[in-house]
Amino acid sequence: MEQFRLPKIAMPKLELPSAVQEVLAEAEQKLAHRPKLLKLFKNCFPNTLETTTKLQDDGTTFVITGDIPAMWLRDSVEQVMHYVPLAKDDADLQRIISGLIKQHMKLIQIDPYANAFNEMDNDWHWNADDVTDASPWVWERKFELDSICFSMRLAYAYWKETGLADIFDSEFKKAMRTAVDLWKREKRHFEQSPYRFERNNGIPTDSLMNDGLGMPINYTGMVWSGFRPSDDACDFHYNIPDNMFLVVTLRQMREIAEFVFRDLSFEQEMAKLEREVNHGIQLYGIYRHPQFGPIYAYETDGFGNYCLMDDAGTPGLISISYLGYVSEDDPIYQNTRRFALSKENPFYYEGKVAKGIGSPHTPPDYIWHMALSMQGLTAQTAEEKLEMIALLEATDADTGYMHEGFHADDPNQFTRKWFAWSNSLFSQLVYKAMKAGLLDD
């Protein structure tokens, strides 16, 4: 990313909502015996609000990813998810989160294929020469199936936590309709989709093969995705974690359709789509591994080819219990988790200082802080959770913040010193551990 000259936008520092201030005060008490962890938590927990969030005059909220002046649908949701449990009695947090949901619904209708957007229609683009149909609102138009799923995840979680349904207006329902039409169309990508994406920058993972259409696929009932949550092109275009996330999302959207909009026809339409996607996952997405037994593949093409790996980004195979597709004790998930945390996963690294999952998006031997946080969030034992917190605490390179990737032998070699999603996921892990009393001693 350093080779690009990125434009700057000013993000005014928000006054922290009272509920956030109360969490920080609680941490002062409960983490006083661990001064470095306390410092990290006090830096990371409010980081999204202090550095990446802007309240708009129209009642919406814009949240940049950090060192890039654009809002990713996926990132912006996970940047604020750790605030959702605090929002029930905090009007300021309600304004911030509901405004972000409204912003997402507007942008989904502008371009459901885009993964990242500008604050306004200023025609800024990650790469102005991309071969795709991008509007002035779109920063990047890599179709990633998980993007809209995250938008719906935030709305559902906010509704369930606060009981407030005012976000479910006519624009929200239009965005739901746009999303369902998109997913149904991309089940038959080659027959029905207008989407193409090529980037002629010499980086293979930034562009789709086959003149921007992607590699051939067989019909499975799952939904096609051009790119992974890492923004890298899929090898095989049925990304299994993304489709699992879609199943969860459709269940949540069905509940909204039935109990908020009272639209049983729409609910039944989504139920049919959910059944078809889930059937495809179970029929095509499981690989019989000679060492670990049945595991979920990362990607497949429906022709019997599989990509066996896990990536540090969410959704990944480790994060499917976090997203709610399976429980943490599901046997195939446990097999998959053991695979992902082994050297059979080509992006699992072990070094002198750390071991964990990285990504083809960063250099070899770079472990992601988000992967360590997710490993902790999905761990079944207190021991593993505490091990991950200690590892995160030890690998910040004394910056006081989390990063993207760091070298397994030397945490002082890292990518992205300002990456708010990573700070938020770390904060979520530490906060949950603190509330559970795991950090008392």
Check residue 305 and give its pLDDT.
Answer: 98
Check residue 11 and give its pLDDT.
Answer: 73
Query: What would the 3-class secondary structure string for 246-278 be?
Result: HHHHHHHHHHHHHHCCCCHHHHHHHHHHHHHHH
Instruction: Give the Cα separation of 148 and 368 in Å (integer).
Output: 24
Instruction: Give the Cα separation of 169 and 172 in Å (integer).
Output: 5
Which residue type sits at 305?
N
Residue 288 contacts residue 296 (beta carbons within 8 Å): no
Check residue 2 and give its pLDDT.
Answer: 34
Residue 426 contacts residue 373 (beta carbons within 8 Å): yes
Residue 63 contacts residue 100 (beta carbons within 8 Å): yes
The two tokens of residue 306 are 């599989």
- Among residues 242, 26, 251, which one has the least CA distance to residue 156? 251
Judge whether residue 301 has pLDDT over 50: yes
Name the pLDDT band for 9 (thresholds 50, 70, 90).
Answer: low
Check residue 441 and give its pLDDT.
Answer: 80
pLDDT digits (tens, 9 = 90+) for 243-278: 999 999 999 999 999 999 999 999 999 999 999 999
Check residue 309 and give its pLDDT.
Answer: 98
What is the maximum alpha-carbon separation in the chain? Answer: 61
pLDDT digits (tens, 9 = 90+) for 363-397: 999 999 999 999 999 999 999 999 999 999 999 99
Residue 298 contacts residue 239 (beta carbons within 8 Å): yes
Check residue 6 and give its pLDDT.
Answer: 53
Query: What is the three-class DSSP state of 435?
Result: helix
Which residue ranges make up each domain of the chain? 18-435
pLDDT digits (tens, 9 = 90+) for 399-427: 999 999 999 999 999 999 999 999 999 99
Report, as an integer, the average pLDDT of 214-236: 97
> In this prediction, what percent of the chain has a pLDDT beyond 70?
98
Single pTM value for the model = 0.96
Residue that has been written with the tokens 């910040």 in this structure: 396
Torsion of CA 91, 95, 98, 103, to 10 degrees: 180
18-435 fold = Glycosyltransferase (1.50.10)
Residue 63 contacts residue 76 (beta carbons within 8 Å): yes
Check residue 14 and give its pLDDT.
Answer: 86
pLDDT digits (tens, 9 = 90+) for 194-210: 999 999 998 999 999 99
Name the pLDDT band for 3 (thresholds 50, 70, 90).
Answer: very low
Check residue 7 and give its pLDDT.
Answer: 56
Q: Which of the two residues, 1 and 307, has the higher pLDDT score?
A: 307
Instruction: Give the Cα separation of 182 and 73 in Å (integer).
Output: 16
Judge whether residue 56 has pLDDT over 50: yes
Check residue 274 and give its pLDDT.
Answer: 98
Report, as an integer, the average pLDDT of 279-288: 98
Average per-residue pLDDT for the chain: 96
> In this prediction, what percent of the chain has a pLDDT beyond 90?
95
